[in-house]
Amino acid sequence: MSKQILHIGIDDTDSPKGMCTTFLAYKIINRLKKENVDFLDFPNLIRFNPNIPWKTRGNGAVGLKIATTKPNKIKNLVKKFVIQYSDVKNGANPGLVFCQDDNIPEEFFKLSSDAMWKLIHRNEAKKILSKHNFDYFYLGNGQGLVGATSVIGYTFEDQTFELLSYRKTSQFGKKRFLDKSKVKQMQEKTYPKTFNSFDSKKNKVLLMPHGPDPVFYGVRGEDSTTLISASKMIQPKEKLAGYLIFKSNQGTGDHLKNEIDVETFLPYTSGILHGIVNSKPIITNGGHVFFSIITKNIKIHCAVYKPTQMTDIAKELIIGDKIKVGGGIRKATKTLPRILNLEFIQILKLEKKLRLVNPFCKKCKKHMKSKGKNQGFQCVRCKSTSAHKIQKYFPRSIKKQIYIPSVSAHRHLTKPVQRMREKTKSEKFNPTSSWISNF
Ligand SMILES: [Zn+2]
């Protein structure tokens, strides 16, 4: 009997209180290994628009591509896992989608690219699934169907990998311990082939979560071979259950590619804008910076929050600076209008910073002093005078470059600076490599 292609999309099985869709994928793959299926790609971990109101931790969906002679048996197995491992009572709205065809319908691609930057209602996904008569399943309100459909329709233009290690069930919820110096060393040895493992400025481990979920640590990088050797350098004392390597759009800046529609400026939309600064930045008591830009004759409010550490850049902007910014639109509150929360600032052209200053005495190399209102200026030393202030250029402390948040404030999709140079080549999946391991 010939094998049939089966795409499996899973989303929103986790809640802030526990579980994790990637761990579910790890469980499912281990089970499918007993069913003589062919794995055709790394499991995909795709992060969609992070600026939606109901996202769980990272708005990440998981996709699997396999070939099997028993698609119906596999579908039932996967469904049982989704039912068993979804945290519905704590707010998960899981979705499970099967596309039993090598050709993925056009609508899946469209939904996927839209889900990257806007808010999509579950009914849009349901409509597509019903039209194609695909098997799907959901619990709760079924919002997870959007991610489960979109992950199947996702097309990689750039990719990274993440090795996620999982704890034994008995350890769930317990405090994690890692040797900080080992993580630091690992990053030093493997950079730039791994990224965001350690914040050397803050001397802080970044690759380890702190919540109740089954993940012990996750190493992100450019290829699976590097991740496997990097993972060996971490050497936690805790005995772990195993690991799984995902191909991902993390670190690709995927949600910040489209130009935001400033006419509608819809809340929960992500994207980029080109504009000219038209208000002097205001610094709040909390250290956040607010300013506005003009784009297509429309005024857009921008916010830069302190934890991003881009506030030192934002406060140096002056009226007339030409910039490109990216981020997510926050809905209006009673006191504030809709605001674009910035996730990067790229300076395209710096305006000259001109200020009027007291005239300069060339002989004494000193600025003159004012003699009183409308009475001109005089040099304190040689007493020479001048009637008017002069214009002086001040150097700008910011440069024509891109500024991104500090590494501790990176989101899953934030593109690290070293990844902006060039795209890495896509790594071919080798099913006999150590892409999954059980210790
Ligand atoms: Zn003088």
Query: DSSP secondary-structure letter at 35?
Result: G
Residue 376 Cα to ligand 1 middle (Å): 14
Q: How many CB atoms lie within 10 A of CB 350?
A: 17
Q: What is the distance between the alpha carbons of residues 77 and 200, in angstroms, rounded to a whole number?
A: 44
- Strands, DSSP E only, in 168-211? 194-195, 198-199, 204-205
Residue 357 Cα to ligand 1 middle (Å): 16
The string of pLDDT tens digits covering residues 5-33 is 999 999 999 877 777 899 999 999 999 99
Classify residue 232 as exposed, middle or buried by CB count within 10 Å of its CB (0-12, 13-18, 19+). Answer: exposed
Q: Which residues are CB-neighbours of 127 under 8 A, at least 6 positions away?
A: none
Residue 394 Cα to ligand 1 middle (Å): 23
Residue 433 Cα to ligand 1 middle (Å): 79
How many Cα atoms sit within 13 Å of 83 on the Cβ side?
A: 8
The string of pLDDT tens digits covering residues 212-242 is 889 999 999 999 999 999 999 999 999 999 9
Residue 389 Cα to ligand 1 middle (Å): 15
What is the pLDDT, as a whole number, of residue 57?
A: 56
Residue 360 Cα to ligand 1 middle (Å): 8
For the record, the structure tokens of 141 come out as: 């309100």
Residue 367 Cα to ligand 1 middle (Å): 8
Residue 386 Cα to ligand 1 middle (Å): 11
Residue 354 Cα to ligand 1 middle (Å): 24
The string of pLDDT tens digits covering residues 77-134 is 999 999 998 888 888 899 999 999 989 999 999 999 999 999 999 999 999 999 999 9
What is the pLDDT, as a whole number, of residue 379?
A: 95
What is the pLDDT, as a whole number, of residue 341?
A: 97
**Range with the lowest mean pLDDT among 10-24, 39-53, 135-149, 222-236?**
10-24
The string of pLDDT tens digits covering residues 264-301 is 999 999 999 999 999 999 999 999 999 999 999 999 99
Q: Which residues are CB-neighbours of 315 under 8 A, at least 6 positions away?
A: 281, 283, 289
Place of tokens 């959901």: 138
Residue 374 Cα to ligand 1 middle (Å): 20
How many percent of the chain have pLDDT more than 70? 99
- The pTM score is 0.93
What is the pLDDT, as a whole number, of residue 55?
A: 60
**Helical residues (DSSP H) of 133-269, grouped into ranges:** 144-153, 180-190, 224-234
Residue 303 Cα to ligand 1 middle (Å): 46
Residue 352 Cα to ligand 1 middle (Å): 28
Q: In what order do the strands lie in the sheet with 369-370?
A: 369-370, 377-378, 385-386
What is the pLDDT, as a whole number, of residue 246?
A: 98
Residue 373 Cα to ligand 1 middle (Å): 20
CA distances from 205 to 33, 196, 218, 434 (A): 34, 9, 11, 25
Query: DSSP secondary-structure letter at 171?
Result: G
To the nearest whole number, what is the mean pLDDT of the chain?
94
Single-letter residue type at 372: G
Q: What is the distance between the alpha carbons of residues 61 and 58, in angstroms, rounded to a whole number?
A: 9
At 123 the three-state DSSP class reads helix
The string of pLDDT tens digits covering residues 416-436 is 999 997 777 789 999 999 999
Residue 138 Cα to ligand 1 middle (Å): 82
Strands 282-283, 215-221: pairing kind: unpaired
Go through 155-193 and write b for each residue having 16 or more CB atoms within 10 A of its CB, e for each that does not: ebeebbbbbbbbbeeebeeeebebeeeebbebbeebbeb
Residue 358 Cα to ligand 1 middle (Å): 13
Residue 377 Cα to ligand 1 middle (Å): 11
Residue 64 Cα to ligand 1 middle (Å): 79
Q: Which residues are CB-neighbours of 359 under 8 A, at least 6 positions away?
A: 367, 368, 377, 386, 388, 389, 390
Question: pLDDT category, 58, cuts 50, 70, 90?
Answer: low
Residue 395 Cα to ligand 1 middle (Å): 25
Q: What is the DSSP string of 278-304?
A: -S--EE-TTS-EEEEEEETTEEEEEEE
Angle of helix 71-85 relative to helix 21-32, nearest 10 degrees, comes to 140
Residue 353 Cα to ligand 1 middle (Å): 26
Residue 396 Cα to ligand 1 middle (Å): 29
Query: DSSP secondary-structure letter at 308?
Result: G
User: Average pLDDT of 332-353?
Assistant: 96
Overall size of the chain counted in residues: 439
Residue 369 Cα to ligand 1 middle (Å): 10
For the record, the structure tokens of 5 come out as: 């292609």
User: Average pLDDT of 372-386?
Assistant: 93
Residue 393 Cα to ligand 1 middle (Å): 22
Residue 138 scores a pLDDT above 90: yes
Residue 371 Cα to ligand 1 middle (Å): 14
At 13 the three-state DSSP class reads coil
By the CB criterion, residues less than 5 angstroms from ion ligand 1 are: 361, 363-364, 379, 381-382
Residue 366 Cα to ligand 1 middle (Å): 7
Residue 411 scores a pLDDT above 60: yes
Single-letter residue type at 41: D
Residue 21 Cα to ligand 1 middle (Å): 74
